[in-house]
A and B are shown apart, each in its own frame.
Chain A
């Protein structure tokens, strides 16, 4: 049955197909986007091979290039010519590669574009090493010698791989010392500084209250003295460790034959990707992934892990849930169970519904103006006068961020809970009341337990929304790099006044405010993937709970 074209067109079927096309496009867009993030984000941790390429420039000069090929694109010759690159007349389109050559300390930049046509030969020598460093980004090159306190203890030629074990052992040693130094600097000295600051505030408070009697001051002084002593002891230990830390160095050769000396203290990890087997690569992948999830960021957030951002996001979301759940549920219960149903409740319901559609930045502005400057400013005057003029709560921080997001998500919880309450058949309530239960008992024992999955759904959706919101947080509390976590061992353990790091803001900051966007890009993809996974999981669980709930009431209604 062949369809003639004109009849087919007249029947309107092409329009149906176009509509089908729209669905297909939407689905492809969603899945494509998720796939893009997943591929790029997961690819970040895979140890890429290091290529050694012979480059011949059009003028005949040859040079050597060592690095990872990050990206390849086809560009029109016209664009390149207008950028001042010489190309033969015949060329219309050329491939070019973005190569991560690392060694920012030697070359000044760690990326380089190479035209595919200029590459004469590519090899993947097994003994090329890649080194991740604490500063200046990655290093690529050949290991030549290992030195201890300036004296060469092991040596090899550029093509050899004899001293690799020696090299690895010394990295291990440096990492152990680094761990010890970190422990002292961050935790022990950190808590002493914190205690000293608290003493200073205590003294200031005594002065303000007029209780700065000599006895009180002497007491504070004694305490301060003991902290100072502790501090000096730690400092001495730190100096020893630092001396040990900076003992060893190694010499390596870079692509243009220059050699450079690098201290082991700057090395995070070293590996030979071209020599790795599949198992080795997987092991490396796992280690990198773990570092990403559990470590602190390095190098202006472009390297290392994102643990503080994960932690900050979780803290903020938890605090927000603690605030939003009771209020949202109470408001919903009031609207559905207690308020007289009529015009006013309808208006309120519409208003609450619409608040979910108000731009989040508006909440941010409100949070900054009302919570931070108004409430926070007054709280500082009342409770923390000793710290003034430095603000305690009168500045963006964790508490205000969670409170702002609680306000932002309270409509979500209200709407979901109300929906849950509305689904509970009236017969159930009436049954309970008929048995003599009071309204409160009915609510507490019968209605709320039945509505609890709906509340859960609401809270999960609220959490999912809060975890992904960035715009308001930029105004009320996130920072690109928080010096410490909002939860630690120093009294009062939870620091609600502190600023915190956040996954979403991390993406924005590293992707757009970082000085070295190219280097940071893979990390941003990985962070984005993590955020998407968290939010997708939250949403899917909300959907699952909702479906489960519907099934449950279907049985009740029948």
Chain B
């Protein structure tokens, strides 16, 4: 009784819960609890945000690729020399100093922001001789030439010296005369040169002109280096072309000094092949613009391979020489693509110095910014005040100067970071310079500055799918069949052993699989090619034959094996079949393929064979994907409620019928999601593909050739790409594509799986 009394609540009035210590303790506990709630909340949410960050950051790196160009005016002033016509205008690297070349032989360097003259110099034009024409070498070479009224030409370069007195950058411009201050002869008859073209390379110098009396003299100087003195000697060679028309707009010489383009105002475009020297002949003649239109401007694109033709209706077309498909050994001038800038005649085209892009201005002052490879119009805006005359883009393509007829210069800042990328250039067929036809090509870098980067993701996406396809071809049947047997037929005791073994496969680092594929499997397959194919054919036949033999064994023997252990007796069978196939390989090769299947494939069938090919990748990556598919599919089949299959069996269906009619239909969404997740893994796998193929970005489904996948491409090229460049961002885009692809596929699979789980729950 007394004990009861003591434990009853009424008997402990002396226990005070509100002592200061207890209150404090409670307060501390409450604070701790709140702190934990806040801490866990903040921590948890921030982890989830960090995960989201991946998506956002990839997007952040990718988005600038698709931004258009923008342009804004920074200053306007009058050109230093207004008394004579401006022949040419350009800028140095930093775009701080510009240069004006005038028709009276003056070169003026001026500040691009204020128009203040920095330096003024007269060119050494001989007394009594006038300047009659002007020509520019390639934009990056800084080489310029003046055609004179005595049939000669004066060649000069504008150069800039950068010094840092007192840590301040000072740019001092000067002129350089690489071929001497004496004019060089182009026309031996001394007639005034009305049009001029120049091309200077390490191999030689070519000067071409049209004279006032309608001839086209061409002078080539071949540079020959003296072995002893290292001095360069010029050997002169003259060619005279038959000119058939008047009205020449401009002349252009290609970089190999083979193609010579004569642009005629009436819309005709003549190409001469200078390779034959004195016998130079017309290679092609085309009508470059629509009937009734005139050509108003022509410029060579960076690298000098493409010719840009602007017409009197605002259309600009790109042309280059392409091997003629009908006439072997012949070349023809091919229209590649067109851009439309307003309706007014094109007045001037300025070509970018580092990229295959250009800017054009029309008579109404509309400026267009374009990229040829990407076939992209980045900007079209009427910006020029008055009648436009000349435009000039800076070497870094960030500053544009525009000069109007009244001598007014407008300076613009151009923001045009990634013009070479467009949906079309990433996923479509692009006709690249010097290619015979449009193609899907990935070639991100080359030694040459004038190289046209080829950013087509198609060959990489194709390679990715090809690798995934062959991997799935091998993995799906093995994994699903294995899962069916393990989940439905196998004895539980064996299942407990087999499942971990196959799941251990999943943990194997792919670098090991890749290394074995590249260094062991690839040479092995090359050596035993017929055996591998024999294996693929013999394996199912052999297994069925062995099982039939087993079923017909005497009962005593059969009963030694407990039910559901069939797979165990197949292990030696599989080993024997594999051994037989490989042993058969060499005799087979001898009988059917003349001793060398690889040579037979290449020579007789015309199928190229790489040692590290899609078959190797398929096997190795199949191996990597099997456990993924297996374990998910196995789970799905195993969790089909047992009473369904028991009911079916009780109604007299065979185990196989039960499986096919009852179990598989129920589990099929789960199997589907297993395949999807496996696919996701195959698509993103990097190391196996990197090591087991040659990594050449080709578009060919041939099982005996390699591929380059998106993932492998990222691994190979990201470390070498310049941060923030288009190439870098395109690789981020590739990563983003992979991310989205796997994320979407996995989400779909996961949703299917969750639905399935709910359905089983209902059953």
Contacts and interface: CB of A to CB of B under 8 A. Distances in A.
Interface in A410-449: 410-411, 414, 438-441, 443-444
B489 A19 contact: yes
Contact of A27 (B53, B571, B739, B746): B571
A355 B683 CA distance: 15
Contacts of A354: 742-743, 746-747, 750
A36 B509 CA distance: 15
Given A18-B481, A468-B507, A508-B687, A92 B735 contact: no
Contact of A8 (B543, B548, B659, B746): B548
Q: Tell me whether chain B's interface is mostly helix, strand or loop, or mixed.
A: helix
Interface string B401-413: 0000000000000
Contact of A23 (B477, B486, B683, B690): B486
A536 B751 contact: no
A439 B32 CA distance: 10
Interface string B719-763: 100010000000110010011001100110011001000000000
B242 interface: no
A79 B654 contact: no
Contact of B596 (A76, A338, A359, A362): A76
Contacts of A76: 586, 589-590, 595-596
Contact of B715 (A15, A331, A361, A438): A361
B735 A30 contact: no
Contact of A366 (B58, B590, B680): B58
B44 A338 contact: yes
A230 interface: no
Given A339-B44, A358-B739, A353 B750 contact: yes
B23 interface: no
A407 B54 contact: yes
B555 A1 contact: yes
Contact of A78 (B505, B599, B659): B599
Contacts of B715: 361, 364, 471, 474-475
Interface in A348-391: 348, 350-355, 357-366, 368-370, 373-374
Contacts of B48: 331, 348, 352
Interface stretch (B78-86, B201-209, B374-382, B495-503): B495-503
A516 to B, nearest CB: 13
Interface stretch (B158-166, B317-325, B513-521): B513-521
A27 B505 CA distance: 10
A351 B480 CA distance: 26
Contacts of B546: 17
B220 to A, nearest CB: 46
Nearest to B713: A361
B482 A330 contact: no
A15 B656 contact: yes
A82 B519 CA distance: 23
Interface string A472-486: 001100000000000
Interface residues of A, number: 110
Interface residues of B, number: 116
Contacts of B539: 21, 25
Interface stretch (A57-65, A118-126, A185-193, A527-535): A527-535
Given A19-B484, A37-B512, A365-B732, A358 B507 contact: no
B120 interface: no
Q: Which has the most chain B C-beta neighbours within 10 Å: A12, A362, A535?
A: A362
B438 to A, nearest CB: 30
22 contacts: A16-B655, A24-B571, A26-B478, A27-B498, A28-B571, A37-B516, A74-B586, A77-B595, A78-B595, A327-B47, A354-B747, A355-B51, A357-B743, A358-B742, A359-B684, A366-B58, A369-B57, A370-B53, A468-B507, A470-B510, A504-B509, A508-B514
What 4 pairs across the A-B complex have the smallest Cβ distances? A334-B44, A359-B684, A12-B656, A468-B509
Given A28-B575, A410-B50, 19 more contacts: A8-B551, A11-B656, A20-B570, A23-B485, A23-B486, A26-B502, A30-B501, A78-B596, A334-B47, A338-B41, A350-B751, A354-B747, A365-B731, A438-B32, A440-B36, A508-B511, A508-B691, A511-B518, A528-B515
